Amino acid sequence: MDIPVKKILEEAGETLRLRLLAGGAGLERSIGHVRVETPGLALAGLSQFVEPDRVQVLGEHESDFLSSLDEARRAEVIARYLMVRPACVVVVDDLPVPEPLRLGAEREGVPLFVSSLRFGTFTERLTDYLQERLGETRTQNGVLVDVLGVGVLILGKSGIGKSECGLDLVLRGHRLVADDVVELKHRPPATVYGQSPPLIRHHMEIRGLGIVNLQELYGVAAVRDRKRVDLVVELVSWEQIEEADRLGLQEATYDILGVELPYLVIPIQPGRNAATIVEVAARNLLLKRQGRHSARELQARLERNLATGAVEPTRGEENE
């Protein structure tokens, strides 16, 4: 998905402190990549390395190089560079803009911006914006909840109890991100964020009760607008699976927009508290991130005992 250059000016111009200097006729030119480029190689004559769908940022090193050239050579280098017609050019750090660059950008219809931000700050902010705007997206039926800082995406067939599980988690002090429809966005290299469509944000459908606004019911601490997805949990009826995982040694993944995320299947039946299990799953994921894997540690202890013939004492025996 591409975006026109003018969108950056309209949506992020203030954050990036952008000011259009020349080339306004080219504001419809397309940007199709999140990577920001510097024109160092192109100014040195290697114009084949310029990617026309990327933002070109001219910083201190490029400015010093152009300043070191005599007037005729500077004009020649800039003219050759602009012939590639990059999406746009930004001169950062309030550096002086060579007159041949301003005139050439106007002539070629290449938007030329200036920004008062330092090079590193500008490229970081611009990359964040482009990742947000150009990232691949999809929608998913489910519930997204922030559980102890872990973004848990709850999936399952209609009527399985996804919303009720999400509501129970909110009552335990966790935060709802989206119910029913979750908008998912990929941010390179391997992160997926989820949010609710603006129209139904902070709302939840409870069968038999209807639609409720959780922010109004429980306050702003019960909701959040956006969360990274860390864990995918699918609720299924007990009859649907032949045998549930009882050890936790096998670790499955779920693909969302090319990102493999930890995936659990939780069998549901009357009397089984899904919210409790989801909360434990989130806590267990946090432990795994700290290098603690309970199932594997127990398996290793059992294998050591079998190998040595030793039997570990129980807690009662240790206290006697």
- The residues carrying an active-site annotation are 162, 180, 246
DSSP string, 227-290: EE--EEEEEEEGGG-SS--SS----EEEEETTEEEEEEEEEE-TT--HHHHHHHHHHHHHHHHT
3-state secondary structure (DSSP) of residue 171? helix
Under 8 Å CB-to-CB from 209, ≥6 apart: which residues?
Answer: none
As a whole number of angstroms, the distance between CA 293 and CA 274 comes to: 22
Runs of H (alpha helix) within the chain: 5-16, 40-43, 60-67, 71-82, 99-108, 119-134, 162-171, 214-218, 274-289, 294-308, 315-319
Q: What is the CA radius of gyration of the chain?
A: 28
As a whole number of angstroms, the distance between CA 205 and CA 156 comes to: 15
Under 8 Å CB-to-CB from 252, ≥6 apart: which residues?
Answer: 262, 263, 264, 265
